[in-house]
């Protein structure tokens, strides 16, 4: 044999000793060869974003995308880049990339909604409407889908397409009955009809707000509008009673024909009165409603209960009343507020 074992060690030993630091470095950083580096690289970009270093984070995300064209965090990186981009066109491109390549990703619904918002902001109303409709149709079970339907309703209302607006609002209430956005949509419809001079339609929507969304700011506003409308109606009625109707001849509204002894007076017909109630609350639990009814009656208020069927459930609407005029109504309303802290709403029957 030309070489012995000790000869091999003598020949290659110095080379191994001189290169071992390089070997150790490669072993310690072998994670770059097995995909772990992708997670570290993405995490580093995310940490820069969390620290508010957006320009550095953007560069880090772009490097990540260039190094990992098929990486695990492509949608997340694109979505975050869109959020911190200073260019709206670039942001739109990132969102659209997610929609085109990852339509089933959890961020796709938000990306779709963001593109619709961008189109609306740049004045492309028709395209924005189409994108909102797509977002609602494709991602209806997500918050982005719900907000897209709300935007469709408001856009239709802004363009005076009342039939479409009402259809969208009804669809919203049917599909998202507990979402607070429903109160805002009903309030927008009520305000629109009020501006149009159709007080009856406006009151219809205000009542729906109070029935469906008690305790919301919109419910409080609706209550104030209804009280103001009721007060105005009573003032108008009193004014007509004092001055006569438009059918009375000029100067004749206060003339009274004398009665003779032989001419019996015709019996007066009973007046048709509208009665008003103060709704204290709407309850799913009858026992809770009964408890409130007992407390209210103990303070001298008359109460009635209106039962409303909603599918398999029954809603119990506890009301105080009836009251014949606005002065009685306001007095009772203030009394209920002082005694129990209750904010009631006016109901007409």
pLDDT for residue 322: 81
pLDDT digits (tens, 9 = 90+) for 232-280: 665 555 554 445 544 444 444 343 444 444 544 544 443 334 467 888 8
* CATH number for the domain harbouring residue 341: 3.30.70.1070
Distances (CA, A) of 69 to 3, 63, 74, 78: 51, 10, 8, 12
Secondary-structure percent of the chain, ordered helix, strand, coil, rounded to 5 = 65, 10, 25
* Domain region containing 232: 180-238
More confident residue, 321 or 240: 321
pLDDT digits (tens, 9 = 90+) for 201-230: 999 999 999 999 988 888 888 888 888 877
Q: Total domain count for the chain?
A: 2
- 195, 200, 205, 206: CA torsion to nearest 10: 90
Q: Please count the other Cβ atoms lying within 10 Å of the Cβ belonging to residue 77.
A: 22
Q: Is residue 51 part of a domain?
A: no
Query: Contact at 8 Å (CB) between 297 and 337?
Result: no
d(CA 133, CA 144): 11
Residues 344 and 292 in one domain: yes
Mean pLDDT check: name the lowest of 56-65, 269-278, 323-332, 333-342: 269-278
Residues 294 and 349 in one domain: yes
Of the residues 210, 238, 266, which one is the last residue of a structural domain? Answer: 238
What are the DSSP E strand ranges found in the chain? 276-283, 303-310, 313-323, 345-348
Q: Tell me: the pLDDT tens digits for 37-86?
A: 889 999 999 999 888 899 999 999 999 999 998 899 999 999 999 998 87
Domain membership of residue 203 (yes or no) is yes
Sheet holding 345-348, edge to edge: 303-310, 313-323, 276-283, 345-348
Nearest-angstrom CA–CA distance, 92 and 282: 46
Q: What pLDDT is stored for residue 17 in this prediction?
A: 52
Which one of 189, 210, 238 terminates a domain?
238
Arithmetic mean of pLDDT over the chain: 79
- Residue positions counted in the chain: 349
Residue 338 lies in a domain: yes
pTM of the shown model = 0.59
Q: Which pLDDT belongs to residue 44?
A: 92
In a domain? residue 348: yes
């Amino acid at each position: 044999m030309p070489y012995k074992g000790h000869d091999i060690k003598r020949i290659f030993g110095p080379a191994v000793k001189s290169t071992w630091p390089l070997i150790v470095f490669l072993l310690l950083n072998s994670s770059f060869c097995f995909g772990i580096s992708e997670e570290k690289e993405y995490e580093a970009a995310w940490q820069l974003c969390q620290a508010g270093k957006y320009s550095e984070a953007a560069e880090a995300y772009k490097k990540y995308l260039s190094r990992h064209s098929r990486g695990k965090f492509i949608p997340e990186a694109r979505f975050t880049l869109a959020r911190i981009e200073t260019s709206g066109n670039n942001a739109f491109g990132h969102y659209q990339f997610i929609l085109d390549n990852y339509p089933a990703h959890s961020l796709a619904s938000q990306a779709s909604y963001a593109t619709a918002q961008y189109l609306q902001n740049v004045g492309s109303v028709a395209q924005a409407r189409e994108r909102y409709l797509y977002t609602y149709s494709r991602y209806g079970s997500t918050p982005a889908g719900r907000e897209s339907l709300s935007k469709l309703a408001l856009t239709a209302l802004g363009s005076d397409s009342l039939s479409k607006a009402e259809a969208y609002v009804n669809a919203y209430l049917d599909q998202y009955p507990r979402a607070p956005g429903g109160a805002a949509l009903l309030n927008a419809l009520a305000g629109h009809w009020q501006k149009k001079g159709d007080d009856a339609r406006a009151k219809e929507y205000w009542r729906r707000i109070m029935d469906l969304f008690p305790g919301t700011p919109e419910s409080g506003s609706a209550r104030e509008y209804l009280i103001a409308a009721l007060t105005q109606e009573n003032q108008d009625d009193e004014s007509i009673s004092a001055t006569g109707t438009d059918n009375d001849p000029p100067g004749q509204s206060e003339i009274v024909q004398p009665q003779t002894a032989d001419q019996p007076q015709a019996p007066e017909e009973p007046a048709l009165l509208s009665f008003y109630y103060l709704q204290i609350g709407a309850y799913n639990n009858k026992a809770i409603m009964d408890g409130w009814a007992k407390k209210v009656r103990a303070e001298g208020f008359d109460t009635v209960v209106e039962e409303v069927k909603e599918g398999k459930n029954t809603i119990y609407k506890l009301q105080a009343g009836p009251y014949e005029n606005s002065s009685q109504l306001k007095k009772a309303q203030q009394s209920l507020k002082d005694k129990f802290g209750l904010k009631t709403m006016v109901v007409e029957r």
